Chain A
């Protein structure tokens, strides 16, 4: 079953003004429930527009968008939709406003109608998931935290109201290796819980280890959407550069090796992985 379906979606910024920009042009896309779905593309390719449309922060000009049971063309108030679609923005500074981490974490759940007790249980669960020491951080001022800690607070504040779809905008930006590793673990835990994860990223190592499917955007159009291995087989490194990503070393190496079919390709990857103990 699809969590998100885009049918011939078009979006224009600043319509009928000198700054008019067509950001999406005839986008067709399906994201299945429980998938980890990555969106790649260069700056201005329409990635941010696409994820904002899922949360109805923007409204499409034409076409239809269906997110879970909500039809974007008929939905009057997006409140119920946003309860089920959480979005973690690239810069946590844009959402933090409370003086204590605890208050910051409780803001979302309370807005979505959770009781304080229920919210606290969920917050503690989400802190375990995101690797944030709740007891150590709950009384700290969020403005005094480091970039990585702020991001963890932002993630917990969204996970706390238990959305079905979680959207990440550049989740690895500004994170160190250990934080990226814990983020990876969190992605898999969320997948185990049946959550759908949609992420925009340029970090190919992160993508290659986490993703089920990848979508390549260019000039507001979906150029390709499929599983990661298919994508790596289909495009050369130079072609992928157009989408702001670079093939992982192992795939670049395989480009030099001839293979018969997809299974042969997968087998050779496995052999090399075994060789290097990856």
Chain B
């Protein structure tokens, strides 16, 4: 059921994105996501997205497999698209039938939201496809380190994050097994009846939650048995280095951010329609 879904998964490779420092990649993702969310014009959103896609292809990441994984959220994308088209009544009317009005603004808004979500997923895919979950957790730990001054439990937060990320594929596998077990006992998950669909959820969700709780308890006990503690400064088996590639990458996305901010805010290149 979850064959080939790559969202949130690491794929081994050897392109330049793989050797970058995770902190650097997290900062890039954060910067580009903020830019895309703040951008109110389709033209600039697509421009930023184009740069993301360039990075995606230059790192030889599996674009089609990521698109295949997006099928699961396509439903929500379509719903938001339709809602924006039909519930925006202001602006130039381009289609009218009885009480149904489609305006140019509504259409552009729908497109803008669609592109925003699409490119945000692509940005996150760059991070997750090229960085192992433990490296992502390490990156967050380093980024949050200054908050230790305010007694923020950085190490505990990093541990929680790395455990959560580590178990995403495991939980997906478990979900597949549960669905198989219930299907073989006559459960129908692809029934056209809405009520049957709703009733088919408990046999999946209950074992899923109970197995997750048991697994969490087992992990806690395994860690306790090995005297895990965050009270001392922990060292890492593998050291992650920062190289020249990181410097070039920082210059690359800082330059793009500055150019974007200059053109979009100071020069007001807000092409009102696009």
Contacts and interface: CB of A to CB of B under 8 A. Distances in A.
Interface of A: 13-19, 52, 55, 57, 79, 82-83, 85-87, 89, 91, 93-97, 107-108, 111-112, 143, 157-158, 161
A143 B214 CA distance: 11
Q: Nearest 8 pairs between A and B by C-beta?
A: A111-B186, A17-B4, A97-B206, A95-B181, A108-B185, A17-B65, A87-B184, A14-B4
A171 B11 CA distance: 34
19 contacts: A13-B3, A14-B4, A15-B4, A16-B4, A18-B11, A18-B12, A57-B183, A57-B184, A93-B207, A93-B211, A94-B211, A95-B203, A95-B207, A96-B207, A107-B203, A108-B185, A108-B186, A111-B186, A112-B186
Contact of B180 (A14, A57, A93): A57
Nearest to B61: A18
Contact of B184 (A16, A17, A82, A143): A82
B150 to A, nearest CB: 41
Contact of B182 (A52, A91, A95, A161): A95
A271 B125 CA distance: 66
B62 interface: yes
Given A94-B178, A95-B178, A107-B203, A17 B185 contact: no
A26 to B, nearest CB: 21
B4 A19 contact: yes
Given A97-B202, A108-B186, A112-B186, A18 B62 contact: yes
B181 A89 contact: yes
A163 B210 CA distance: 29
Nearest to B1: A57
Contacts of B182: 95
B197 interface: no
B186 A157 contact: no
Contacts of B214: 93
B186 A83 contact: yes
Given A87-B184, A95-B207, A111-B186, 7 more contacts: A14-B4, A19-B4, A55-B184, A85-B184, A89-B180, A94-B207, A95-B185
Nearest to B64: A16
A18 B9 CA distance: 11
Nearest to B205: A97
B174 interface: yes
A114 to B, nearest CB: 10
User: In this complex, which of B3, B184, B188 has the most chain A Cβ atoms within 10 angstroms of its Cβ?
Assistant: B184
Contact of B65 (A16, A91, A158): A16
Given A14-B3, A17-B68, A97-B203, A79 B181 contact: no
A85 B187 CA distance: 14
Contacts of A143: 210
Interface centre among B3, B64, B180, B181 (most CB of A within 10 A): B181
B6 interface: yes
Interface in B184-207: 184-188, 202-203, 206-207
Nearest to B2: A14
Contacts of B4: 14-17, 19
A174 to B, nearest CB: 15
B185 A157 contact: yes
B211 A52 contact: no
A43 to B, nearest CB: 15
B89 to A, nearest CB: 43
B186 A17 contact: no
